[in-house]
Amino acid sequence: MSSVVADRDHQSMLIEIQRHVIGPLENNTYVARRPGDNAAILIDPAIGSEAVVEHCVNADISIEAIVLTHGHADHILGIPAVMHRFPGIPVYVHPADRPFLSDPVLNGSSMIIGQPFTHTGELQDLTPGAQTIAGIDFTVVHVPGHTPGGCAILADGQCLVGETLCAGSIGRSDLAGGDGVQLINSIREHILSLPADTVLWPGHGPDSTVGHEAANNPFLNWL
């Protein structure tokens, strides 16, 4: 089951982001594209990504690449479903999270679905700095802490933050590869430093803004 949440009306139309809430953990899987362009990237394919693929096909949207904010199982289990319909597309992940894709202990798949999952296909490096994929210009920001290779995707006043930060909370740092000190530093240095009206798209839960989280998130009040 997939529910599509439209992008905010006040967001810049240089990039269009759709949120699909799918899977048993109610993950946010995102489809991002330039308005009016059929080429798109899919961010963090979760369980149930078949519904996202169907939505894209029906809307004449072509997924050109998969981008992973990090390598935990609930954000990668939909890779096969996406690649079944769009074979050969590249999968981007930060080099520090590459081991998660091939290690079911690191990615936690046995805990989430009761069986190991790995993706052994070719991976492309998601490196910090300016990137252009599927015609979309964005900036990759390395935000370690939830995982060693966690990344945020920043594009024109919008930031896909994975599980570094959620509305009213922050990511866990007690899972494999997590580091609480790194997580807090990443949030302080790379997320809270963004303009207050920057829209935050997290891996779970509703969207928010930097200003709202800085003022109201109980985990950030002491930063």
pLDDT per position as a tens digit, 20-57: 999 999 999 999 999 989 999 999 999 999 999 999 99
pLDDT the model gives residue 1: 45
Residue from 15, 114, 120, 26 nearest 75 by CA: 26
**Which tokens sit at 219?**
């985990």
Q: Cα(78)–Cα(81) distance, rounded to whole angstroms?
A: 5
Length of the chain: 223
Q: Which CATH superfamily is domain 3-216 in?
A: Ribonuclease Z/Hydroxyacylglutathione hydrolase-like (3.60.15.10)
The DSSP string of 10-26 is TS-TTSEEEEEEETTTT
44 near 203, Cβ under 8 Å? Answer: yes
**Which tokens sit at 95?**
């080099």
pLDDT digits (tens, 9 = 90+) for 122-181: 999 999 999 999 989 999 999 999 999 999 999 999 999 999 999 999 999 988 889 999
Q: Cα(80)–Cα(47) distance, rounded to whole angstroms?
A: 10
The pTM (predicted TM-score) of the whole model is 0.93
